[in-house]
Amino acid sequence: MSLSDLQIKNAKPADKARKLTDGGGMYLLLNTNGSRWWRFDYRFGGKRKTLSMGTYPDTGLKEAREKRDAARKLIAAGVNPGAQRKAVKAAGVDRAANSFEVIAREWLAVRQHEWTPGQFAKERDRLENHAFPWIGRLPVADVGVAEIRPLLARLVKRGHKEQAHRLRNQLSRVFRFAVATERASRDPAADLRDTLPARQPQNYATIIDPVQVGELMRAIDGFTGTFVVECALRLAPLWFCRPGEIRQAEWAQFDLDGQNPVYKVPPMIQKLRKAAKENPNTKPHSVPLARQAVAILRELHPLTGRGKYVFPGARSSSRNMSDGAVNAALARIGYKGIITGHGFRHMARTLLGELGWNPEALERQLSHKEPGVPGVYNKTQHLPERRKIMQEWADYLDTLKAGCD
């Protein structure tokens, strides 16, 4: 049964708070001190939530019902009213509820569960740095090609072509979200798809000439920095893991004493989608360890083995080594811009391919999935062959270091 203003005015507080129901999930919470709070209960994402809608009489019955109806419309469109309110607050109380920034922050909130914290921060920061200052206050329905083009041109002029493409794609996704939630009628960012300069292939700097690889290995042996970074630098070409899988490695993930020494890279630090990282059925990626890699790890263990991380940070053993440590070490030995930590993967894949090793086994060692339908069904890991590959590769690097090819 719906409430009336007379019922609300005549309602008297009791020994405990009670609800005066109006319908559609809305009620007036009458507190023991006589205060009256409008509340709206709803379910979103399978969970019960409550939205505050003001106090009576500052917010009258008619206005409260309008807020309830607006919230129910958002829910029907797939938007959490609570998240929408937070987006409005984050954008600033002086901005319209349907401004581009509010809609974009709603979209970020909707997609956040699909992303890792790092990816969410990148998506948010790109909008905050390159879109909100110029179009954030504008009603989303009023933003068109004329308003978006300068944002992209600014990035292109500074040489950030890839960032311009990513921003255009991100803006397009925000506009499609606005269309789906009935706050806009079209996606103007899509019209600018063909106006941007073509993407340039981004390849990590690497070395694939055997003679130069030998020179690099000798330079690595001459590194004079901290022992922890030295070990990471010596292991990087032997593992050809992604840089994050090296610096975040933990001793508990290693088996150095078994017949087949291995580093089992946990899903949380692999290059996977968030759902795969958090899926308990996702298996770790096995990195067989050559004799040379085991020797380096055994040498390092007395120094860092009592802690969590194989490569702890310089300032605190409770944190792993910084993400720029290996590249800084390469720069220190004269290889800045010539090879990066990620470039060791390209180096290994190229040279091992030229040595005739099974391409499928090499791709598995790089933790690459076979594309398309075959990748769904083909679960072969080639682990015995990969053990041979890793040992042959370590021996080959030793040969090149000695000046032989």
Q: Quick check: is 286 in a domain?
A: yes
Stretch 135-161: mean pLDDT: 92
Which among 299, 292, 301 has a CA at the least distance from the CA of 254? 301
pLDDT in tens, 320-334: 998 889 999 999 999
Question: What is the pLDDT at residue 281?
Answer: 85
Which among 326, 379, 368, 323 has a CA at the least distance from the CA of 346? 368
Catalytic residue (choose from 130, 234, 242, 346): 242
Q: Is 12 a catalytic residue?
A: no
Tokens 């809608």, located at residue: 53
Catalytic residue (choose from 122, 271, 283, 291): 271
Q: Is 242 a catalytic residue?
A: yes
pLDDT in tens, 272-301: 777 778 788 888 989 999 999 999 999 999
Which among 49, 8, 52 has a CA at the least distance from the CA of 30? 8
Higher pLDDT, 202 or 252: 252
Q: Quick check: is 335 in a domain?
A: yes
Residue range of the domain that includes 308: 210-401
Catalytic residue (choose from 176, 368, 382, 401): 368
Catalytic residue (choose from 342, 346, 364, 386): 342
Q: Is 377 a catalytic residue?
A: yes
Higher pLDDT, 378 or 251: 251
CATH number of 309's domain = 1.10.443.10
Q: Rounded to an integer, what distance in angstroms lies between the CA atom of residue 251 and that of residue 148?
A: 49
Q: Quick check: is 376 in a domain?
A: yes
Q: Quick check: is 392 in a domain?
A: yes
Q: Is 161 a catalytic residue?
A: no
Q: At what angle do helices 61-76 and 81-91 cross, to 10 degrees?
A: 100
pLDDT at 85 over 70: yes
The pair of structure tokens assigned to 212 is 């130069």
Please give the tally of structural domains in the chain. Answer: 1
Which among 5, 6, 66, 53 has a CA at the least distance from the CA of 27? 53
Q: Quick check: is 298 in a domain?
A: yes
Are residues 156 and 165 in contact, defined by beta-carbon separation less than 8 angstroms?
A: no
Q: Rounded to an integer, what distance in angstroms lies between the CA atom of residue 405 and that of residue 400?
A: 6
pLDDT in tens, 87-124: 777 665 444 678 999 999 999 998 888 888 888 999 99
Catalytic residue (choose from 48, 62, 157, 377): 377
Strand partners, 47: 44
Question: What is the pLDDT at residue 8?
Answer: 85
Q: Is 271 a catalytic residue?
A: yes
Q: Is 130 a catalytic residue?
A: no
Question: What is the pLDDT at residue 93?
Answer: 45
Q: Rounded to an integer, what distance in angstroms lies between the CA atom of residue 386 and that of residue 392?
A: 10
Q: Quick check: is 89 in a domain?
A: no
Locate all alpha helices (DSSP H) within 79-160, ordered by sequence.
Answer: 81-91, 100-111, 117-130, 132-135, 145-157
Q: Quick check: is 238 in a domain?
A: yes
Question: What is the pLDDT at residue 371?
Answer: 52
Stretch 168-188: mean pLDDT: 93
- For the entire predicted model, the pTM comes to 0.60
Mean confidence (pLDDT) of the chain: 88
Q: Quick check: is 105 in a domain?
A: no
